[in-house]
Each structure stands twice: as structure tokens, then as C-alpha cells.
């Protein structure tokens, strides 16, 4: 059985949608295939496993899962620029928290993630006699389900051999969280300790990272669904589980922070060899880059830069101003790129230049100067500070070898710090401040004398900006509902989770709409 013959049908069997400047179109193909019951079926586990890993590549698009985590936060927005980037208000509604159950990206993300869960479930059913593939399948199912739990708060689930005309049962947020924990508990011992250098591979450290992330958010996930905004009660046992999993990664000796001045090695086109921070990444190679890191620079760069971008997304001025002047995470020149095409890594503010250092202009001939002032409803093509975290290899811009980072070691240290701050038992002589300052020192920032929740949330933002974690962090720290730039009023409390797509409810009576929608 080849991957192409597997179903891409999701648990709720929904139609997919597309919009505007984005590539949001997916197709439902095939029907469910019972890989455990077909007499004489020849199951190609390598192809099945590759297909489920391949489903992760869709999460690297600028839309859907990524956009729901970033555009709804205080560090990214997608301003409308004349006739560009309006896209029927899709970005604006995410940023201003005015979505509803028919929002195109809410529907598409639901389909995308549930497809991942179902394909992983099929793989698990086929891999019962192969412990390594079985462990990876359980990790992958936990990964996709984690995002559904985080974003939507409930999970439709069907077994691989279930009849196609049977409505999937629905796991509550608390039930799905325990399902994820059980999958990871079973998976972690069977995951490889090292990754295959030629392909995307989930390792034991990746499983431990995801388990730490689940336990850190468990208080959010088991909260009363009629009061999803909290306040949250972080159990000491859960925080100790976070610390134990982080310690396993720390003590493995496999990972380390990049030294001062080398922060952007984590996102370089040679990051697979330059960085020791990549706990789990999607493999890209020069000339073959299925994980599509290119959209991370195309989605923000101006038309007249190299590469010629889509002139879209920007950061917010308040977020940019939260960095110290000497913080290396603000930006850097990159040998072999800045001197060739003029592009810098990090935040792009002020006059932009080409590889020869000559100033660039916009399409109307005005100096191409990126300004912090930007309006979500109307902006000219120069407004807004841009972000380039992944950057192109000038010798193959469209197929650079930047591995796409899913889990990073700096996050391990910050998760451990947060777990201690929330009542977990410190280990190894670590304190909240020492762990945070370990990260800050590596980035050229000054040490903090003390760290409270506000300081830790701010540090997570500075370290992990535009990596897809911001909404998740803001919900856990209780700031997601607060006003921020271009969202001037508080958000209604129920919007810490997204609505279940109306199409899903219409096709599965076991699903009930989330509280408040």
C-alpha cells in the first residue's frame, strides 16, 4: 500500500477552502483504508511513515496553524496594503480576534491537523509489529493532537478500522490531553536517540520536549470549558514532570545553546550542521526543500528586495521595542548573504540596501525605509518592521537548505524555568533567573536580577519570536485577551480557544460548539 492510496479524509470529513494570496487549498482524496483487515495486504511502512512526516510540512505555510498562533498575538500582523493582502479580512480578523466558525483558516487548520491525526492512527494500526515505526507514529499523532487540543479544545477521533459512515467519537479537552500523554508515554522509550541525518526523524528528545510542552499547558487544557480563560492551577506534579523531561534533554549532552553572536545559526541554510539547538526539525536540503522555509522570508520582504517578496507581514512596534539595543536577536549580518544580496537576518527597520550597500526604493521611487508605524486596515508598501528569521542561500533562494525548526533547545531551558516559577522543584542548582540568564547571556543581553511571570513571558517572546508559540504562551500567562497594537479592546474570554468549524458540527453530531460561540 503506497502513501498516495491512503485517505486524506479527516475525522469530520470536511471540505477544504482557499483564500486570497495564500495557498490554502487541499483536496480530500480516497476513502478510509483498513490497513489491519485487508487479506494479504502488503503494507509499506516506510512509505506510510514518510507520508505522515510529510503531513508536517503543511504546518510550515504562512497560513493556517502558523497564522492562528502568530497573527492573533502581540508580535505579528498582516496589514492591508491598498489592494494587496486584504484577502477578505482573513489576517485582520485573526489579529483583532473577530473570527467566527466559518473563518477560512479555522476550517483549513482543523482539516489539516485532523488529517494528521487520522493518518498517524492508520500508521499505528499497521505498525504493531515494528516498535520503531510504532513509536514514531504515536509521537506524530500526539503532535497533531496537541495542536488540536491547544487551538480547538476538543478532538474528534476514529480508529483506523472504523466504518467510514460512523461519526467519530469526540474527546473532551481533558480526555484528549490524557490521550496525548498516554501516546507519548508509550512512544518515548521506543524513539531513536539520534536522528537520521538524511531525513526528518522524531527522536527521544523530541518526545520528551513534546511531553514537557503538554505538561506545562496541562492546567490550561483541563480547565473548565465554560471558563477556558482561567485562572489556571498549575499542579506541582505536572511542573515536576516538565522539569524531569527538560532535564532528560539537558543531561543528554546532545544539545547546547549557540554561543554569543551565533543565534541565527539556528535558522541558517546550513543549520543542520551549524546549530546544536535543533531538538526536532523538518529536513530541507539545498535543491530539495519540502518543508518550505522559503515562505518565512517571502511573506515579509518587499518586492524590490532580493528575493522579491510578497510584502506582507510585519511585527508590532511595541514588540520590537522590547529588545535591548545590544540583544543579538534583533538582527545580524550574515556572511555570504548580506554582502551578496543586502539582506540581514532578524528585524529589518529603516533604510534597506542591496548587496553593494546602495539604498533601495519602493515601486514608486521613494526610499525603501521600513517604519514602525503601520495600520492594520491601511498601510503603504513601506510601513512595518519586517522579520527575517529564516534566510535564503543566495545560490538557491527558492530551495535553501534551512531545516524548519519545530522544537529548539532554548525553549527547553525556558520551559524548565517556567515550571520552577510555577512551583516545580528545582534541580541541578538551577533557578528561574539562572536559566533565563543562560539564554540571555548567549544572546548578548544583560542579566536579569529577578524573573517574574511578566519577565519570563517577555523573554519567551524575544527568544522564540515568529516560531509559532506566541498565542500558546499568551494564553498560559493570561495576557492573550489584553489589548495590544491594532486590537484596542479586551477580547471576550471564550476566545482563548477557537470555534469548532460549523461544517464539522454539521457533519458530526457528536461535536458541540465551544462555549461562547
Q: Which tens digit of pLDDT belongs to each residue from 312-351?
A: 999 999 999 999 999 999 999 999 999 999 999 999 999 9
pLDDT of 56 reads 97
Domain assignment of residue 512, yes or no: yes
CB neighbourhood size of 7 (10 A): 18
Buried/exposed code over 64-75 (b: 16+ C-beta within 10 A; e: otherwise): bbbbbbbbbbbb
What pLDDT, on the 0 to 100 scale, is given for residue 18? 35
Q: Which of 25-39, 154-168, 173-187, 347-361 has the lowest mean pLDDT?
A: 25-39
pLDDT of residue 19 exceeding 60, the answer is: no
With respect to residue 437, please indicate whether it lies within any of the assigned structural domains. yes
Backbone angles phi, psi at 347, to 5 degrees: -85, 130
Question: In terms of domains, do 428 and 480 share one?
Answer: yes
Peptide bond into 307 cis (omega under 30): yes
Residue 9 has pLDDT above 60, yes or no: no
Residue 93 and residue 47 in one domain: yes
Q: Check which CATH number belongs to the domain holding 67 and give it.
A: 1.25.40.390
Of 88, 114, 120, 86, the closest CA to residue 103 belongs to 88
pLDDT at 13 over 70: no
Lowest mean pLDDT among 29-33, 304-308, 345-349: 29-33
C-alpha cell read off for 158: 476514529
* Whether 141 contacts 155, CB under 8 Å: no
* CB of 415 closer than 8 Å to CB of 217: no
Read off the pLDDT band of 71 (50, 70, 90). very high
Q: Which residues contact 201 (CB under 8 A, 6 or more apart)?
A: 136, 192, 195
Contacts of 362 (CB under 8 A, 6+ apart): 302, 303, 304, 368, 380, 381, 382
Q: What is the pLDDT of residue 162?
A: 86
Q: Is 196 inside any structural domain?
A: no
466: left (phi over 0), alpha (psi -120 to 50) or beta: left
Within this chain, do residues 70 and 148 fall inside the same structural domain, yes or no? yes
Confidence tier at 410 by pLDDT (50, 70, 90)? very high
- Residue 281 backbone dihedrals phi, psi, to 5 degrees: -140, 155
Q: pLDDT band at 14, cuts 50/70/90?
A: very low
Torsion of the alpha carbons at 333, 469, 326 and 448, rounded to the nearest 10: -160
pLDDT at 164: 80
> Do 33 and 106 lie in a common domain?
yes
Percentage of the chain with pLDDT > 90?
Answer: 89
For residue 295, being part of any structural domain is answered with no
**What's the Cα-to-Cα distance from 172 to each of 17, 220, 225, 392, rounded to whole Å?**
26, 13, 9, 42
Do 479 and 459 fall into the same domain? yes
Residues 53 and 121 in one domain: yes
The more confidently predicted of residues 334 and 160 is 334
Q: What is the mean pLDDT of residues 295-308?
A: 98
Is 80 a domain residue? no
* Residue at 383 is within a domain: no
* DSSP E strand stretches across 306-412: 331-332, 345-348, 350-351, 369-370, 386-388, 404-408
SS3 1: coil
State percent of the chain over pLDDT 70.
92
Residues 435 and 507 in one domain: no
One domain, residues 62 and 136: yes
Q: Please tell me the predicted confidence (pLDDT) of residue 37.
A: 44
Element (H, E) at 145: helix 131-152
Q: In a 10 Å sphere around its CB, with 0-12 CB exposed, 13-18 middle and 19+ buried, how is residue 162 labelled? A: middle
The alpha carbon torsion through 216, 195, 266, 71 (nearest 10 deg) reads -50
Residue 68: predicted pLDDT: 98
- Does residue 356 belong to any structural domain of this protein? no
Instruction: Return the bridge partners of 170, or none.
Output: 156
Q: What is the overall mean pLDDT for the chain?
A: 92
42: helix, strand or coil: coil
Considering the domain architecture, whether residues 515 and 414 belong to the same structural domain is answered as no
- Residues 68 and 122 reside in one and the same domain: yes
Q: Which of 10-24, 282-296, 304-318, 366-380 has the lowest mean pLDDT?
A: 10-24
User: What is the dihedral sign for C-alpha 452, 454, 455, 461?
Assistant: positive
- What pLDDT, on the 0 to 100 scale, is given for residue 195? 86
Query: Residue ranges of the alpha helices (H) in 194-349?
Result: 204-221, 236-250, 271-274, 295-298, 317-320, 338-341
When comparing pLDDT for 471 and 163, which is higher? 471
* Nearest by Cα to 502 from 489, 517, 486, 485: 517
* Rounded Cα distance, 98 and 100, in Å: 7
For residue 100, is it within any domain? Answer: yes
Residue ranges making up the domain that contains 438: 410-492
Q: Which of 275, 316, 302, 244 is nearest to 465 (CA)?
A: 316
Q: How much is the pLDDT for 41?
A: 53
Number of domains in the chain: 2
Q: Are 68 and 471 in contact (CB under 8 A)?
A: yes
Contact residues for 506 (Cβ-Cβ < 8 A; gap 6+) = none
- Residue pair 448/437 in contact (Cβ under 8 Å)? The answer is yes
Burial (CB < 10 A; 0-12, 13-18, 19+), residue 253, is: exposed
Whether residues 68 and 123 share a domain: the answer is yes
2 and 44 housed in the same domain: yes
Look at residue 487 and give its three-state secondary structure. strand
Amino acid at each position: 500500500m503506497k502513501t498516495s492510496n491512503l485517505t486524506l479524509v479527516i475525522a469530520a470529513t470536511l471540505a477544504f477552502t482557499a483564500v486570497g494570496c495564500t495557498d490554502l487549498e487541499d483536496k480530500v482524496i480516497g476513502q478510509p483504508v483498513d490497513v489491519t483487515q485487508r487479506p494479504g495486504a502488503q503494507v509499506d511502512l516506510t512509505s506510510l511513515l514518510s507520508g505522515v512526516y510529510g503531513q508536517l510540512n503543511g504546518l510550515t505555510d504562512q497560513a493556517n496553524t502558523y497564522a492562528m498562533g502568530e497573527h492573533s498575538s502581540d508580535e505579528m500582523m498582516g496589514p492591508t496594503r491598498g489592494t494587496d493582502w486584504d484577502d477578505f479580512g482573513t489576517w485582520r480578523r485573526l489579529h483583532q480576534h473577530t473570527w467566527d466558525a466559518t473563518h477560512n483558516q479555522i476550517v483549513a487548520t482543523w482539516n489539516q491537523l485532523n488529517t494528521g491525526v487520522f493518518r498517524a492512527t492508520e500508521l499505528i494500526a499497521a505498525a504493531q509489529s515494528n516498535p520503531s515505526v510504532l513509536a514514531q507514529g504515536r509521537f506524530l499523532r500526539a503532535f497533531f493532537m496537541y495542536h488540536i487540543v491547544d487551538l480547538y479544545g476538543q478532538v474528534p477521533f476514529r480508529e483506523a478500522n472504523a466504518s467510514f459512515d460512523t461519526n467519530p467519537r469526540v474527546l473532551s479537552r481533558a480526555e484528549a490531553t490524557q490521550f496525548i500523554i498516554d501516546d507519548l508515554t508509550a512512544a518515548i522509550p521506543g524513539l531513536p536517540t539520534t536522528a537520521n541525518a538524511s531525513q526528518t526523524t522524531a527522536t527521544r528528545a523530541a518526545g520528551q520536549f513534546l511531553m514537557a510542552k503538554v505538561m506545562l499547558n496541562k492546567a490550561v487544557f483541563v480547565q473548565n470549558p465554560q471558563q477556558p480563560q482561567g485562572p489556571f492551577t498549575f499542579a506541582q506534579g505536572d511542573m515536576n514532570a516538565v522539569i524531569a523531561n527538560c532535564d532528560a534533554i539537558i543531561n543528554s549532552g546532545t544539545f547546547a545553546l549557540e554561543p554569543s553572536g551565533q543565534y541565527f545559526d539556528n535558522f541558517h541554510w546550513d543549520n543542520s550542521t551549524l546549530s546544536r539547538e535543533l531538538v526536532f526539525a523538518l529536513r530541507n536540503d539545498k535543491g530539495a526543500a519540502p518543508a518550505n522555509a522559503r515562505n518565512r522570508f517571502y511573506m515579509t520582504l518587499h518586492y524590490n528586495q532580493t528575493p522579491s517578496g510578497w510584502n506582507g507581514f510585519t511585527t508590532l512596534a511595541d514588540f520590537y521595542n522590547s529588545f535591548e539595543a545590544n540583544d543579538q536577536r534583533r538582527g545580524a549580518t550574515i556572511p555570504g548573504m548580506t554582502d551578496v544580496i543586502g539582506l540581514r537576518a532578524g528585524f529589518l527597520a529603516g533604510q534597506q540596501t542591496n548587496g553593494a550597500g546602495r539604498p533601495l526604493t519602493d515601486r514608486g521611487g521613494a526610499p525603501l525605509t521600513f517604519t514602525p508605524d503601520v495600520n492594520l486596515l491601511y498601510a503603504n508598501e513601506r510601513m512595518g518592521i519586517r522579520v527575517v528569521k529564516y534566510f535564503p542561500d543566495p545560490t538557491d533562494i527558492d530551495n535553501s537548505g534551512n531545516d524548519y525548526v519545530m522544537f529548539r533547545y532554548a525553549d527547553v531551558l525556558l520551559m524548565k524555568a517556567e515550571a520552577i516559577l510555577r512551583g516545580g522543584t528545582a534541580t541541578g542548582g538551577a533557578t528561574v533567573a539562572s536559566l533565563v540568564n543562560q539564554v540571555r547571556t548567549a544572546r548578548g543581553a544583560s542579566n536579569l536580577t529577578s524573573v517574574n511571570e511578566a519577565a519570563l513571558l517577555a523573554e519567551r517572546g524575544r527568544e522564540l519570536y515568529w516560531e509559532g508559540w506566541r498565542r500558546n504562551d499568551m494564553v498560559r500567562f493570561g495576557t492573550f485577551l489584553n489589548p495590544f497594537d491594532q486590537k484596542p479592546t479586551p477580547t471576550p474570554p471564550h476566545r482563548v480557544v477557537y470555534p469548532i468549524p460549523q461544517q464539522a458540527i454539521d457533519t458530526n453530531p457528536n461535536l458541540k460548539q465551544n462555549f461562547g460561540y
